Every structure is written in structure tokens, then in C-alpha cells.
A and B are shown apart, each in its own frame.
Chain A
Amino acid sequence: MPCPLVTQGSPGFHGIFGRQDRAEQFFRSGHTNNWAVLVCTSRFWFNYRHVANTLSVYRSVKRLGIPDSHIVLMLADDMACNPRNPKPATVFSHKNMELNVYGDDVEVDYRSYEVTVENFLRVLTGRIPPSTPRSKRLLSDDRSNILIYMTGHGGNGFLKFQDSEEITNVELADAFEQMWQKRRYNELLFIIDTCQGASMYERFYSPNIMALASSQVGEDSLSHQPDLGIGVHLMDRYTFYVLEFLEEIHPASQTNMNDLFQVCPKSLCVSTPGHRTDLFQRAPQNVLITDFFGSVRKVEITTETLSLDRDVAGFESKFPEEELATEPLKYAEQLPVAQIIHQKPKQKDWHPPGGFILGLWALIIMVFFKTYGIKHMKHVF
């Protein structure tokens, strides 16, 4: 992959690039790996477009080089294999069914009921229960560039998760601050495609965050076009034009963020997309799209030769000697009727009555004797 970072190690190229370029390279992003967290927060079939939005960004990010192990994909409902989908295992982004964004090798990390505010915040901050598998963790470090994309239904200052809970802009800003304090990112790009999306980035206060939203406070983000065969709207306008823009990008392109800010003007999108760059240290025209959407592969060219050992004889002796059984082993009987019938039932252990029962009986006896006096005890016994 031709990238200026490759030439840093090799001596032969210094003559070609002058001092100006070397100084410019100093201001390039110092990240070594890329991560993406893509979240769709809507449930139900009529929110097909939110899943299509998220999958379009997933597809672009994978195409530009970020591997599945570095993508945390959260889809709140299953549209592809939904019984209402006339074309199972597909999610389309365009009404002519040109582009199946679901693809053949998708890996969804959090699905269906697992997409909750708690899980999302745990993924971001890294405070995950110890038995969580690797594919569900955001294992970023202080040299990671993270892309966070969220879509769903939102309002002024909140984003709705699965029609039952919300995340507010204050919580999100605090989560990013936790990430900054724990050195979990180098630079962060936050894109949100919901109604009144700009309200979600108003409260950020951590450094190195750039944010884009599909609409300003008080405006609604609109959907693009319905498909009469599937019966729902397929994409939202903002993400549709972002996808069109990203389809032109290839891993070595030099397009910068200013071009991304121009995507979807008011004439196409009806809403006014907004962006926020005051927390970001570099100027947007120096930030490449591939800094966030693509993946860095640091390649060092070496001129030494390594010879691989052909001798595998020593390998086999590593396996321990197996013990053979003395008599042939048997498979278990699948339905041993006699054994099952004569299975001894478990002895019923007698447990002394618990505190509640004892207390209840004590209360009843106390009330009885209070009412009728202790002299009646001889009538009882």
C-alpha cells in the first residue's frame, strides 16, 4: 500500500522528499492502529434504514482496510433474516438493489438485546466483565484512531436505544473523557446520523475529538428513498451521500476532512449537517479520510534473508505418549430404560423453617396471647 509512512525507515528516498515534506510529515497523525465502533440503536422492521446505515459504514471501513477484529459492530435488530424481508440474508442500500451491504462475511459483535446503553458505555470505557470474548472488546491504546458511528432515533440531547432507554450527550461526553483519561485513543472521529444530531456533540470537552452530525438542533434528519419491494425506507439521506463519497475513496487516497464536511449540503439533505473541530489539534485539511476510515499498516522493508528450518523430526517427539486402554471402550447407551427407572430419587433433605416462617408464627402466637391473656394457655395445651 503506497503510503508516505513506509518511506520513513528506508534511507534511499530521503533525496526525493525535501525538507518541506519532512516537516509536513511531522504534523501527520501519530496513530499506529485503527478501530471502529459502529452502533445501530433501533429495533423493529420499519427502522431498516438505520441498520442499512450502519452496515454501509461497516462495509466502507472494511473495504478500506480495518479488519473485523478491530471493528465492534452493534446492531439492535436483525433485518437480514427478519421474516418480513423478501430477500433473506440481504440488506440493501439503494432501491435498485444494487448494493447488498450485508455481504457474505459480516461479523456482528453485539446483536439484538445486547445493544444497550450499558454495554455501549462499557465497550467505550473498557470496563467489561472478565469473561467477555476478544471480539466484543475495544482493545485500543493511546496510539489508536477510533471512528465512532451512531445512528437511530434521537432528540435534543439524547439518543434512543431500542425504544426503551436513552443515552444523553452528557453521558457520552463523560465516556469520552474517561477514554481520554485512560489513554484509550489518540484521535477520535464521532459521526452521528439522527434527528437533532448536533446536540449530541455539544458537550464534548476532551481533546482530539472531531464530530460530525447529520442535522442541527431543531432539525430532523430525513430518510432517503423507500423501496416498494421491501416496503421500508432503505437509507437515511446523510449516510447515503456519505456512502457515495466513501465509495470513491481507496486506501491510498489523499482526500481530507474538509471534503467530508461538504458532503450532503442542504439542497440534497434538507437538514444542515454540522461539524465540530475546536477540540481537534490538527487542522481538518491535514486530516486524511483514511486516518479514520482506513487502517494503517506499518511496513518495514528488510534486506536480510531468513532460512526456515526444514527439519521437522524434532517436532513429533513433543507429543506425549498416549496410553492405550486395556479393553475396548464403549459408547454410552442413549436410552437406558432400566437404569433410568431405578435411579434413586434424591433424599429430601429436611430444612429447618426459615426466618420468615418462624417470625410469622411468633407473631401469630404473640397476638393470640396478647388478645386472650396468658391464662388461656391451659386451654390450648
Chain B
Amino acid sequence: GVGTASLALPPASLEAPGSVQQLPVPGRDSPVARAHRGLTLPTVSHYRLFPKALGRLVAALGVRELHLALTQGFWRTRYWGQPPLQAPAGAELWVWFQPTVTDVDKAWKELSNILSGIFCASLNFIDSTNTVIPTASFKPLGLANGTDHHLLRYAVLPREVVCTENLTPWKKLLPCGSKAGLAVLLKAERLFHSSYHSQAVHIRPICRDASCLAVSWELRQTLTVVFDFFSSGQGKKDWSLFKMFSRTLTDTCPLASQSKVYVDISPKNKEKELLEVSPAPTSVHEAIVQGDKKTYAVYDLLSPSLFNTSRSLNVQLKWKRPQDTEMPIPTLHAQRYVGGYGLQTGEICTLIYNTHPYRAFPVILLETVPWYLRLYVHTLTIITKGKENKPSYIHYQPAQDRRRPHLLEMLIQLPANSVTKITIQFERALLKWTEYPPDPNHGFYVGSSVLSALVPSVTAMKDMDVEQSPLFASLFPSSDGSSYFVRLYTEPLLVNLPTPDFSMPYNVICLTCTVVAVCYGSFYNLLTRTFHVEEPSRGGLAKRLANVIRKLRGVPPL
């Protein structure tokens, strides 16, 4: 097996320091730390590097691909740029099963239960009410022969909390645990004190070598954290490993064949000498990541020269001049919110921005809405630049109460330099009183929408670049160098459903007042009611109308 690890760190300039000085932004976020560990496995029964818990799971349930992400926070694409690998807030699980699996739903339920035990997360709440079968999104990321989408299942739990008890089993899956190598940096107290924390596990089959005649299993564990130095009082834009993790690197995992730290030192606007990294990197590497040429200072932990001077490695970045460059606006970003007022109806609005000056590209939007928000699909409108935009492909599966959520998948063409607004109205349902969670007034979550797109690259990627791309950029296989695949998620929504008042005093008041009213009312009637004789009246308006109708029918009048 091959074990590799890489840690990628861009400099603070990618996180809009200029805008912090001009706008009263409360938190300014500093470097994004991403840790990847990719392992390949010759056979499923070889557990020297591949953890046995996941290996047995994949073999027993006939899983072809598994992607599980646990995220706390939301990636602000507008301020932090295109995410390397985004995940929606909460827990997201999507799995491709092998064609040999006969009952996919049963295998899916068992899989989510077993994963909930491994990762200490409430994944056992995944059932048919939040699982969907996407038809166009979530194509397999590994080797695939055909893609029958009935073997795919996707579920998201937006309410899921991520904390140390999820990080602990994630760390235990690593071959050296958190005792050696890059994983010594991962201490929960520092990692959760951040604006965004996302940990994921990806299992997929890949080519064993360049000829691609044999298949290996790959387990990729990723951890993406955005630290917020501004709000924790540190103010300056310089960072170091010790400041971020309160630890430094001392050695490598003996089982790793590759262990690297990448620091993004790409020059902005052709200006060099803007920043300084210390100690000196072992090499400087240029790669095309997400369609753009980036320069990385690489620290190879396995090279003997690195630990020559000092026993620990503390990578530091200092700015030489105050930089005033603006954060480049990402080509594709989106936003979603709930409109309307009151507790009966509402509207979900999604705004998708294409900021490329001259290229248009398609995007697939996948929305999963729980059944208790009843969508009215006839109110679905897609408007771009003031005109209606008809999607090339729509797949809508309506919800069944208490059994299935809504699924809406659309392929929309985004013209260059445009904003597309998608709105759909919904009605809020009244749940049965046993179906409310213990804190119903918090609201109910609607999971993030998924946007999958092939965004045109700034710099085309050639085949040679594909092989040399660093580990953290190689999850999405690229077929065509002129564009790169990106998957974005929008914000989750929080909607209030009409909630009965569960408080005991209210119920007691209602009951008491009813009893009192009935008793008192009957008593009052008994005491004060008197009877009169009444003259028969000629008949009111209703009686006259009825007589007219009866005459027309030929029936005697009243």
C-alpha cells in the first residue's frame, strides 16, 4: 500500500484582508488548512493501512463508493474563494452500490446504522424521509462501468452537530492515529475554534497505475478548517503552524510514503516578494489547481534536510508589505434564502451568479425539500437577466407525506456575467403532535442545495499536469483540461412550522376555561331561559329562493 499525506496552506491574502480594513466585517478568516490522506489498497483483505472497520463494511454491503462528510459552519464562497472540497452543514452521506446488491434500500439503512456507530454521529436518522435518488448529480468519482442511478443514494442531515466525538474516530482511522506525522497537529480544542470545520471520508476505486488495468481501493480522509484570527484577537495577518494548532511538526508517520506541507505563495498581479515563508521550503512547485496556476512552497517531511537545524518544524508566513489586493470574485457562487412571511406559506429563492465575463456554462441544481414543506411546482420560475430561462432537463419527484421528500433536479444554462434567480413557493404543513422534536420552536432545517458545474478554467490543464497535481486537488477526475468540476452547496434554511403550544399552563387554561364555560353556561341557561310562543313567519329570502327552484323543477313548494 501507499500512504501519502499533504497539508495545504494558502497565504492570508486569499482571504480579503483589504476588505476587512474598509468594511466592518466582524471576523476575518485566515488560512485554510486542509489535510488529506490518501491510501491505496491492493486487495480488500489487506489491512496494513486501510482500516479494518471500513474495509469489512465495504466488502459486506457491496459498496462501490462511499462519501461521508461532517461539517460545522458554512463556506463563504464570496469571501474565501472557491472551496477545495465543500460539504453542506451537518452530515452528508452519498453512496454508490455495486450492481450485485439486490436490495439497495436495506443495504443503505444498514450502512447508515453502522456508520453512526463508527463515527458517533446520529446517522441512524437517515431513512426514507430524507433519502433521495439523484438522476443527474453525484456521478461516481471513481472508476465506473455504467451509471445506473438506482444504485445511488444521497441523504443529508442538516441538524447534525460535529464535535470532538466525531473527530476521535476519524483520527483513529489513520494508520498512525494522531501520534505521528501531520495528524499530531489535529487537536480538537483548536480545530473547533474556527469558522468552518469539515471532515470527510471518501472511499472509491481508482486506477492502480498509469496504464489503468488494475483497480485499487482508495480511502481519502480530508479535513478542512478555516481559522479566524481576527476575532480571536490576533489582528495581524501573519500566521504560523504554532499559532493555528498550538503544536509543531516533529516527525513523520513511519508508514507514510509521502508527507508534505504545501503553502500557497501564488503571486497576485505578477507581484513577487510580497510574502516570506520560513523556514526555507524543500522545493517550490507549480500546479494548476481549480483551473488556475498556483505556486506552492513544499515542505517534504521525509527529506532528511528538513529536520537538520531544529527538531520541530514550524512553518511561518510573514507579509513584507501591507497588501491591498481584493479577493478575486469566484466564477460561480450561489445564495439561498426563504422569502415570505407568516406560518402558512413561504418561498425558497436561490440566486446563482456566473461572473465569468464571456463564457456560459451549465449547472445542475439539486434540491431536497422535506415533505412538510409542500412545494407548488407550478410556481417554479427561473429568471436570468429579466427573461425566463427554461432548463434543459428537469426531474421532479413529489413528496409523499411521512415517506419521501421532494426532489428537484434541473440543468440550467448560465449565461456569461449573469444572475439567475430560481423561486418556488411552498406551504407549511401541520405535523402530528408526536412528530415534533423536543425543541420545535428552534425551527426545521432544509438541507443545502447542491450545485454541480463544469467551470471554465483560466489556465488549461494538460495531461502531464494531471499526473503531477498535488494530492488535495485530485479528488475530482478531470476529463477535459479546459474546465474543472466544482460542487458547491448553498446555505441550509431554517423554517418555522406552525407549532402548537406544548406548554402545560396553556393546556390547563384551555381545559379549565372550557369546563367552566360549559358548567356556568348551562346553569345560567337553566336559570334565565324563558319560553315564548312564536308566530309562523311568511318566510325569509332563503325560503323564497327555494320555492322558486322547486317551481322550476315542478315539485310542490314548502
Contacts and interface: CB of A to CB of B under 8 A. Distances in A.
Interface of A: 43-44, 78, 80-81, 87-90, 100, 102-109, 111-114, 131-136, 162-164, 318-320, 322, 324-326, 328-337, 340-341, 343
23 contacts: A43-B438, A78-B163, A80-B164, A80-B192, A81-B192, A89-B163, A89-B193, A104-B188, A106-B165, A112-B159, A131-B109, A133-B113, A133-B116, A133-B118, A135-B117, A164-B438, A318-B45, A325-B214, A328-B212, A329-B145, A329-B212, A331-B144, A334-B477
B164 A89 contact: yes
B215 A329 contact: yes
Contacts of B479: 331, 333-334
A319 B45 contact: yes
Given A134-B117, A324-B214, A337-B362, A106 B139 contact: no
A107 B118 CA distance: 10
Tell me whether chain B's interface is mostly helix, strand or loop, or mixed.
loop
Interface string B97-127: 0000000000001100110111011101100
A164 B504 CA distance: 11
Q: Interface of chain A, helix or strand or loop or mixed?
A: loop
B247 interface: no
Contacts of A78: 161, 163
Contact of A89 (B116, B142, B192, B393): B192
A112 B135 CA distance: 33
B151 to A, nearest CB: 12
Contact of A343 (B110, B169, B393, B439): B393
Contacts of A328: 207, 211-213
A168 B212 CA distance: 63
Interface in B447-494: 452-454, 476-477, 479, 485
B205 to A, nearest CB: 9
Contacts of A325: 212-215
Interface string B213-254: 111000000000000000000000000000000000000000
Interface residues of B, number: 63
A157 B410 CA distance: 56
Contacts of A337: 362, 392, 411
B213 A319 contact: no
Contacts of A102: 164
> Chain A CB within 10 Å — which of B213, B453, B476 has the most?
B213
Max chain B C-beta neighbours (<10 A), residue from A103, A334, A336: A334
A108 B120 contact: yes
Interface in B171-226: 187-189, 191-193, 207, 211-215
Contact of A111 (B118, B165, B215, B485): B165
B498 to A, nearest CB: 18
Contacts of A100: 189
B212 A107 contact: no
Contacts of A341: 392-393, 411
Contact of B117 (A112, A133, A162, A334): A133
Given A107-B165, A112-B159, A331-B477, 20 more contacts: A88-B192, A89-B191, A89-B193, A102-B164, A103-B164, A105-B164, A106-B165, A109-B120, A114-B122, A114-B124, A131-B109, A132-B117, A134-B117, A164-B502, A328-B213, A329-B143, A331-B144, A332-B139, A332-B141, A334-B477
Nearest to B363: A335
A131 B142 CA distance: 28
B214 A88 contact: no
B187 A104 contact: yes
A104 B171 CA distance: 11
A135 B188 CA distance: 22
B437 interface: yes
Nearest to B45: A319
Nearest to A79: B163
A87 B190 CA distance: 10
Contacts of B135: 340, 343
Nearest to A90: B189
B407 interface: no
